[in-house]
Structure 1
Amino acid sequence: MAKQQKPQYVTTLFNRKARHEYTILDTIVAGIELHGSEVKSVRLGKASLNDSYAVIHRGEVWLENMQITPYLHNTLEQLDPKRSRKLLLQKSEILKLNSKLHEKGLTLIPLKAFFNKRGILKIELGLAKGKKLYDKRETIKNRDAERQIQRLKQQY
């Protein structure tokens, strides 16, 4: 008899494009309201933060466009993979974010999703300002220079 393999659980999902496309000014951690077997899908790594963003609507923060693929063994209702999901923040935090968002060009971008020590899914949001093309080039140039310096340090 062959042993059954346990599924590989993912503890952290990253939005890799976020730091390239935006300058992150501030971060905040929020809980997320999920339904049914969505937690199992996220644990299996069947989620993506690409192209997702958060909005404040009627005093609540909503995460839009987060892709959570339906769990394979779910026999109950099928949920929309890209539905809006409510983020759990305190009222004072929402008011602070709302006042900052009214500044020119700021947006809320999810940076990563992770499970805390108690096994609860959390989303790290970044208050971000979009980068221009020349800012992106400058970032890449600085990163390459840092790598070159590290290589030279390792040689000597």
Structure 2
Amino acid sequence: MSDTPDPAHSAPRFLGQQTALPASPGEALLDYVPNPRAGALYLVRFAVPEFTSLCPVTGAPDFAHLVIDYAPSETIVESKSLKLFLGSFRNHNGFHEDVTVGIGQRLAAEMQPRWLRIGGYWYPRGGIPIDVFWQTGAVPEGLWVPEQGVAGYRGRG
């Protein structure tokens, strides 16, 4: 399903070459590279405003704005592998809660950051927007964590 992170692995598999989207999240591999500032407490944010997956009941597309924040420890996730992983959800059936929390749990389990949170701001289906939030625990003392900056639903503009 996934590779275990190896902090010594510093040669990303996907950079510099054309890479097809994985067929499913389970087939997607994430690359982790050594944290160049392993001793520093800092925050990394990935904003994914055009995330898609499929409704597990109807098969219709679901759209979300994801925000992933993490404080690295020994490794950081390589962004192209993260894009491929997230893109693999385009043909994946899953409830908003399962998809959002599953992404956060996989990143946390493999990368083992000091702290991680994910916000899934799902656009309405049936007139109801669903926002899903998950984090690994309390924010580390001294870590600056700005607001995720995604407005409550009013067109998510």
- After TM superposition, the score normalised by the length of structure 2 is 0.28
Higher helix share: 1
